[in-house]
Amino acid sequence: MSTEIVEKPISVLLVDDHPLFRRGVFAVLSADKRIRVVGEASNGKEGVASARKLDPDVILMDIQMPEMTGLEATVVLQKEMPRCKILMLTISEKDEDLFNAVKFGARGYLLKEVDPDEIIAAVLQVASGEVRLTTSMATKLLGEFKSRGEKKGGEQALSPREGEVLQYVARGHTNKEIAGTLFISENTVKVHLRNILDKLHMKNRAEAATYAAKMGLV
């Protein structure tokens, strides 16, 4: 047995709806021997499927994507595969997105305008179990948690399906339309919506739509 320890490269899955951007990230990450890009996906849904199949160490995830956003995908994957570290790589500088990403289990938050070097450092860092945030982000988060410190008792997370339904509601679709899109009965949509309203302590779909928009789900 050799005394040299051969490290297995960190496997990375890219989830972003822009093929061109993916290619850029791919080029940057592939230039580093400690990292290996094992797959790509172009929306949250595909991302979840790929993650299940590939079981990557790190997922680089965009937030704003068609079909299923990065936030929703993060919710799903955190529950399913807690070993897998999710690093948000997004254009959004909105505080709301940052808070939600962290709340839903992301291990880091990078803006797309970062330097190539930075992204490599971030991948290595989250792979090793650390969290990657800029100091200004960390400050924002601390302030946020302090201000809602004791209140957090009742908050229940939405299930993936509920998140999906909520998206369509926010886009102005009726229950019947949503049922048609998701191939389920209108009754089921109504049940989902009722559960959503109960969990969010809200009164009707318009209020829930506002919530969804603010959370960046649409």
Mark 144-163 with x for binding to DNA (rule: CB under 7 A) and - for no binding.
Answer: ---------------xxxx-
Element (H, E) at 209: helix 205-214
Q: Under the criterion CB under 7 A, does residue 192 sit at the interface with DNA? A: yes
- Rounded Cα distance between 55 and 136, Å, is 31
- Rounded Cα distance between 49 and 213, Å, is 25
Nearest of 169, 168, 215 to residue 63 by alpha carbon:
215
Nearer to a copy of itself, 36 or 173 (CB): 173
* Span 75-114, contacts to a copy of itself by CB under 8 A: 91, 112-114
Q: Which of DNA, a copy of itself, none is residue 184 near (CB under 5 to 8 Å by kind)?
A: DNA
Q: Which of a copy of itself, DNA, none is residue 33 near (CB under 5 to 8 Å by kind)?
A: none
Contact partners, residue 174, CB within 8 Å, separation at least 6: none
To a copy of itself, the closest distance from the beta carbon of 132 in angstroms equals: 16
Strands 10-15 and 35-41: parallel
Provide the binding-site residues for a copy of itself, judged by CB under 8 A.
17-28, 42, 91, 112-116, 119, 169-172, 174, 202-214, 218
